[in-house]
């Protein structure tokens, strides 16, 4: 009994040290990601002002579609393509664990290839030159992904898990390529700074939920799925999201002339909806990881986990944010 009592303080101290180390890593990685994101946003806006011919750039296939100059969001498309490639490796690990087909090779490549093509199709459809071309391309890409996955899973004359593998791979392709594509649509209709604003609201909600939950969190929200989440943390996160949205709406009038005016009450509502949906996105990814028996997607980003650990909330929010902006 004494040994158990003596060991308890050591366990608590070890837990505190782990939390402190994790927080210190986040305080380094987080600001670096913010700086990189802002720098890439400025670069995206700058490239949009150039008269850059598609025929003499990496976007040369667009010239055959009658698009002579590189359209808005070119840099954003390249960034999203890199994100798809990095996240695809993590989702491939989830797919392999969930389907039980550890013998499969090439799932990551399929998700990367068809995810980028899906992203391109959404971008192409949003440009307005020929929306049906984008729709047709997206449908073709997803069909090719499904049947390509069936072929991959049935190699070696194996049939078990083939349909589940194809459905999972196609679903993850939609999750990455199509959902990220909504950020491309926001860029086309508005500006890349609206995307930065949406991500800021989501991440401020995460930050508010984390610190509120650590300080006063008592009532577990969904202990069987995400033991660390509390109702108090959710409330704190939503307040942080609403405050961030309100502050950004006050800045948008002077910093983004010509963009839709968002009233204070509308900003609070948008912050609440985006914050809540962001938390839902986090829970969806937690469900996937628990099914796969994984704690973090990977250790790509120190203190933050993998690409999907950072991307889960913004991905889920992207289509909701686009619809909210369409309705304002």
144-203 pLDDT per residue, tens: 999 999 998 888 777 788 899 999 999 999 999 999 999 999 998 888 889 999 999 999
**Structural domain contains residue 43:** no
Alpha carbon distances (Å) from 216 to 92, 142, 248: 37, 45, 27
For the stretch 127-150, pLDDT in tens is 876 788 889 999 999 999 999 999
What is the token pair recorded at 197?
A: 């604003």
Q: Are residues 200 and 255 in the same domain?
A: yes
> Which of 163, 122, 162, 116 has its CA nearest to residue 139?
122
**Structural domain contains residue 9:** no
In this structure, the strands spanning 226-230 and 220-222 are: antiparallel
Q: Are residues 123 and 163 in the same domain?
A: yes
pTM of the prediction? Answer: 0.85
Alpha helices in the chain (DSSP H): 2-48, 74-99, 107-126, 131-154, 162-173, 179-189, 192-216, 231-255, 264-292, 307-327
Look at residue 104 and give its three-state secondary structure: coil
Q: Are residues 254 and 270 in the same domain?
A: yes
For the stretch 251-304, pLDDT in tens is 876 677 667 778 889 999 999 999 999 999 999 999 998 888 887 666 777 767
Q: Are residues 199 and 253 in the same domain?
A: yes
Q: Are residues 222 and 129 in the same domain?
A: no
pLDDT over 50 (residue 96):
yes
DSSP states of 151-185: HHHHTTT--TTHHHHHHHHHHHHIIIIIHHHHHHH
Number of domains making up the chain: 2
User: CA angle 121-122-124, nearest 5°?
Assistant: 65
Answer whether 278's CB lies under 8 Å from 202's CB.
yes
Domain final residue pick, 172, 188, 204: 188
Answer whether 69's CB lies under 8 Å from 57's CB.
no
In this predicted model, which residue has the larger pLDDT, 93 or 33?
93
Mean pLDDT score across all residues of the chain? 84
In this predicted model, which residue has the larger pLDDT, 132 or 103?
132
- Structural domain containing residue 156: 52-188
pLDDT over 70 (residue 11):
no
Q: Which residues contact 229 (CB under 8 A, 6 or more apart)?
A: 209, 213, 220, 221, 222, 279, 283
Look at residue 215 and give its three-state secondary structure: helix
For the stretch 153-162, pLDDT in tens is 888 777 788 8
Domain final residue pick, 135, 159, 188: 188
pLDDT over 70 (residue 231):
yes
**Structural domain contains residue 149:** yes
Q: Spell out a b/e string for 281-300, using b for 16 or more CB atoms within 10 Å of the CB, else e.
A: bbbbbbebbeebebeebbeb
Answer whether 120's CB lies under 8 Å from 62's CB.
no
Rounded percentage of the chain residues whose pLDDT exceeds 90: 45
Q: Are residues 182 and 233 in the same domain?
A: no
**Structural domain contains residue 6:** no
Q: Are residues 226 and 150 in the same domain?
A: no
Q: Are residues 251 and 205 in the same domain?
A: yes
**Structural domain contains residue 24:** no
- For residue 63, name the pLDDT band (cuts at 50, 70, 90): low
> Which of 93, 29, 100 has its CA nearest to residue 296?
93
Look at residue 125 and give its three-state secondary structure: helix
pLDDT over 90 (residue 61):
no
Q: Are residues 205 and 135 in the same domain?
A: no
Q: Are residues 288 and 311 in the same domain?
A: yes
Burial of 34 (0-12, 13-18, 19+ CB in 10 A): middle
**From its phi and psi, is residue 62 left (phi > 0), alpha (psi between -120 and 50) or beta?**
alpha
What is the token pair recorded at 227?
A: 């033991």
Rounded percentage of the chain residues whose pLDDT exceeds 70: 81
Q: Are residues 203 and 231 in the same domain?
A: yes
Answer whether 168's CB lies under 8 Å from 283's CB.
no
pLDDT over 60 (residue 18):
no
Q: What is the pLDDT of residue 145?
A: 96
Domain final residue pick, 188, 219, 252: 188
**Structural domain contains residue 141:** yes
**Structural domain contains residue 21:** no
**Structural domain contains residue 316:** yes
Q: Are residues 165 and 197 in the same domain?
A: no
């Amino acid at each position: 009994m004494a040994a158990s009592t003596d060991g308890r303080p050591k366990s608590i101290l070890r837990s505190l040290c782990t939390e402190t180390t994790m927080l210190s890593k986040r305080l380094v990685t987080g600001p670096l990601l913010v700086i990189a994101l802002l720098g890439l946003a400025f670069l995206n806006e700058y490239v949009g002002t150039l008269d850059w011919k598609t025929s003499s750039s990496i976007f040369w296939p667009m010239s055959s579609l009658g698009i002579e100059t590189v359209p808005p969001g070119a840099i954003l498309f390249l960034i999203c393509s890199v994100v798809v490639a990095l996240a695809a490796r993590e989702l491939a690990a989830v797919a392999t664990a969930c389907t039980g087909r550890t013998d499969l090779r090439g799932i990551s490549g399929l998700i990367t290839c068809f995810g980028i093509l899906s992203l391109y199709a959404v971008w192409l459809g949003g440009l307005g030159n020929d929306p049906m071309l984008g729709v047709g391309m997206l449908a073709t890409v997803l069909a090719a992904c499904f049947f390509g996955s069936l072929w991959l899973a049935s190699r070696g004359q194996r049939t078990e898990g083939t349909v589940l593998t194809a459905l999972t791979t196609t679903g993850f392709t939609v999750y990455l390529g199509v959902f990220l594509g909504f950020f491309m649509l926001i860029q086309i209709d508005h500006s890349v700074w609206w995307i930065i604003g949406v991500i800021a609201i989501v991440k401020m909600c995460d930050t508010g939920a984390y610190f509120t939950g650590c300080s006063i969190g008592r009532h577990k929200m969904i202990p069987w799925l995400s033991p660390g989440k509390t109702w108090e943390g959710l409330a704190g996160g939503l307040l942080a999201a609403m405050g961030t949205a309100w502050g950004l709406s006050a800045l948008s009038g002077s910093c983004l002339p010509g963009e839709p005016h968002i009233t204070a009450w509308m900003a609070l509502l948008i912050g609440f909806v985006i914050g809540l949906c962001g938390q839902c996105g986090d829970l969806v990814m937690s469900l996937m990881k628990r099914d796969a028996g994984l704690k973090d997607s990977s250790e790509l980003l120190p203190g933050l986990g993998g690409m999907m650990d950072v991307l889960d909330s913004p991905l889920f929010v992207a289509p909701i944010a686009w619809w909210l902006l369409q309705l304002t």
